[in-house]
Amino acid sequence: MLASIPSATLHGVDGRSVSVEVHVSAGLPGFTVVGLPDAAVRESRDRVRAALLSSQLSWPSRRVTVNLAPSGVRKTGAGLDLPIAIGLLVAADVLPSACVDGTGFVGELGLDGSVRPVPGIASLVAAITGDRVVVPAGAASEAVFVAGERVRPASTVAELVAALRGLSPWPAIARSADTSPTCAPVHDLLDVRGQLVARRSLEIAAAGGHHLLLVGAPGSGKTMLATRLAGILPALTRDEALEVLRIHSAAGVAVSGGAFPSRPPLRAPHHGATEVAIVGGGTSWLRPGEISLAHAGVLFLDELGEFPATVLDALRQPLEEHLIRVRRARGAVDFPARFILVAAMNPCPCGEGGLPGACRCNDAIRQRYLRRLSAPLLDRFDLAITMSRPDVEDLLGGPPGDSSATVAARVTGARELAHARGVRCNAELAVDQLEDRTTLSPEAAALLERRLRSGALSARGLHRVRRVALTIADLDGVPRVDERQVAEALQLRAARSVLVSGGTP
C-alpha cells in the first residue's frame, strides 16, 4: 500500500536527497503529486504510466498519491520518474518491497519504458544513501566516479524489474576507456610561431594562476594563444576533477566525452552571452553559468570590449572570491568559480591602434570603446600585454618554441613551490602572506619604490606586481625576487596603461 523510495533532486550543483513516498489506496482512480514539484515532475505521471504499460506492467486503477519529502524543498527535473515508477510498483504489490530495500533510484523515463540520463547524475548519486543506486545506463560511467561499486545501471524498466527480482543479472557498466590523466591536450604550443613575450606571459599565467589580458590587432594570434593555456596547466587533482564533473553534469554539459575529467576545462563563451549564461541562474532551475563551467580551468573572453558592461562587472565578485552567489526568488545557491581569466581585445575599434601612428580612430570613438571596461575589472588582470602580428620569418619556419609538455613541466615545478607556501598558486597569496613568505632584493624594492613615487603604480598594483614577480622567480628557479623579475612583471602589465589612460598611442 505504501512505498518509500530514496532519490535526489538537484539544487545548484549539489544533490539533495528526496524520499519518494507512493501511496495506493481504494477510491476513484487518480494520480496526485504533492511536495513542491515543478512542471517536469508533475508531467511525470504521463511518462510513468506509458512506460509501465509499454513494459507490460500494470497501472493500478486506484487512487495514487505521490509525496516528495521533504516537502519544503523544490523538486526539479525528470530524474524522479524512475523512483515514482518503482514506488508505484512496490505500493501496488507488483514488486516485493524486499527487492528494493536500501536501493535508491534516479532517471527519466521514456514512453517506451527506456531509462534516460538526466543532468547532474554525479551530484544526485552522491546525495543518495543506500547500498545500491540505480542510474540510467547512459550515465552509469559518470556515477561510478562518485559512487563506485554501489552503482547499478538500468536501460529499460522491464530489465530493471527483472534484475531487481533477481531473475536476471545486472548489466555491466560500459566504462569509458579514456580515464588516464595523461591524455594529450588538443592544441599544442608548438603551433605558435614567434610571440615570445605572449608565450612567456602564458607560462607565467599558468604557473601563478594570474589573469591575463591580451591586447592586439586582429590576426595577432590572441585566440590561438589563449586556447592553449588549458594545455599547460597541471592536471586536475581528484577533488578538482570531481568538482568539475559535478558542475558540468549539473549543467547538462558533457565533459571529456563521459570520461573522468583529467584536464582543466576551457570555456570560451561568445560575447553575445547574457549575464545569466555567464554567471549562472535561470528560471526553471538554477544552472551553473560559464564561469562555473570554467572552474579549475580557463575562462577565455574573446573581444572583451564587446561584452555588455553588466556581464563584465558581474565577473568582479567571482574573480575575488572564487565563487558566485546566485540569489533568486526561487532559491539561493553558491556555484564554485575559480578560474584563470584570459581576455583578448583590440586596442581600438579599427584594431590597428597597437602600432603608433597606424590607427585612424578618432579619440572620442577610442575613448568610448575603452570606457566599457571598468577600472576595477582591469585592475584584476595581473598580466596585460600588447601583441602584434607575427613576423613573416617567424611564420615561415622560424624556430619552434617549447612544446606544451615542456612548458607544463615548468609550470608544475612552479606550482609545487607555491604549494610549499600553503596556497594553490601565487595569485592566491594574501598580502600578509606575501610579506611574510617572500623576500625582495634591495634593488627590486628600490625599483618598486621609484614606480610608486612616480605614480605609475598603485598600492593594489604593487601587490599584483609582487605576486607576478614571485611566480617569475619560481619559474626561473631563483630563491629571491630580484630587480630582473620585478622589471619583467612591470613590463608584462604595460598594456594596462593604454587601456586606463585611453590615450593616443
Q: What grid cell was written down for 120?
A: 547532474
Residue 29 sits in the site that holds other proteins (CB under 8 A): no
**CA pair distance 231, 411, nearest whole angstrom:** 11
For residues 311 and 361, which CB has a smaller minimum distance to other proteins in the complex?
361
How many residues bind other proteins (CB under 8 A)? The answer is 43
Using the rule CB under 8 A, which residue among 166, 356, 397, 455 binds other proteins?
356
Residue 474 sits in the site that holds other proteins (CB under 8 A): no
Letters for 183-202 (x = contact with other proteins by CB under 8 A, - = none) are: -----------xxxxx-x--
Stretch that binds other proteins, among 8-16, 88-96, 100-108, 477-485 (CB under 8 A): 477-485
Cα distances from 270 to residues 263, 275, 309, 404, 430, in angstroms, run 22, 12, 14, 26, 33
For residues 67 and 504, which CB has a smaller minimum distance to other proteins in the complex?
504
Beta carbon of residue 447, minimum distance to other proteins (angstroms, whole number)? 7
Residue 346 sits in the site that holds other proteins (CB under 8 A): no
Using the rule CB under 8 A, which residue among 357, 397, 442, 455 binds other proteins?
357
Cα distances from 118 to residues 280, 393, 398, in angstroms, run 19, 52, 50
Beta carbon of residue 423, minimum distance to other proteins (angstroms, whole number)? 23
**CA pair distance 260, 210, nearest whole angstrom:** 26
Of 357, 352, 412, 358, which is closest to residue 386 (Cα–Cα)? 352
Using the rule CB under 8 A, which residue among 98, 364, 396, 459 binds other proteins?
364
Beta carbon of residue 497, minimum distance to other proteins (angstroms, whole number)? 5
Of 411, 396, 419, 384, which is closest to residue 498 (Cα–Cα)? 384
Residue 461 sits in the site that holds other proteins (CB under 8 A): no
**CA pair distance 50, 136, nearest whole angstrom:** 18
* Chain residues 406-435 in contact with other proteins, contact rule CB under 8 A: none
Beta carbon of residue 294, minimum distance to other proteins (angstroms, whole number)? 27
Pairing of strands 108-109, 115-116: antiparallel
Beta carbon of residue 317, minimum distance to other proteins (angstroms, whole number)? 30
Beta carbon of residue 196, minimum distance to other proteins (angstroms, whole number)? 5
| Contact predicate 226/423, CB 8 Å | no
Residue 497 sits in the site that holds other proteins (CB under 8 A): yes
Residue 452 sits in the site that holds other proteins (CB under 8 A): no
Of 86, 81, 87, which is closest to residue 109 (Cα–Cα)? 81
Q: What grid cell was written down for 215?
A: 591586447
Q: What is the CA 479 to chain-centroid distance, rounded?
A: 34
Residue 9 sits in the site that holds other proteins (CB under 8 A): no
For residues 317 and 504, which CB has a smaller minimum distance to other proteins in the complex?
504
Stretch that binds other proteins, among 13-21, 142-150, 321-329, 379-387 (CB under 8 A): 379-387
CB contact set of 49 (below 8 Å; sequence gap of 6+):
31, 59
Beta carbon of residue 195, minimum distance to other proteins (angstroms, whole number)? 7
Beta carbon of residue 293, minimum distance to other proteins (angstroms, whole number)? 32
**280 has which bridge partners?**
288
Residue 181 sits in the site that holds other proteins (CB under 8 A): no
Stretch that binds other proteins, among 285-293, 311-319, 360-368, 400-408 (CB under 8 A): 360-368
| Contact predicate 275/311, CB 8 Å | yes
Of 227, 225, 238, 226, which is closest to residue 296 (Cα–Cα)? 238
* Cis? peptide before 269, omega within 30° of 0: no
Alpha helices per DSSP H over 233-299: 238-250, 275-279, 290-293
Pairing of strands 14-25, 63-69: antiparallel
Residue 367 sits in the site that holds other proteins (CB under 8 A): yes
Using the rule CB under 8 A, which residue among 386, 404, 438, 471 binds other proteins?
386
Using the rule CB under 8 A, which residue among 46, 93, 131, 391 binds other proteins?
391
Residue ranges in contact with other proteins by CB under 8 A: 194-198, 200, 354-364, 367, 385-388, 391, 394, 447, 472, 476, 483-485, 487-488, 490-492, 494-495, 497-498, 501, 503-505
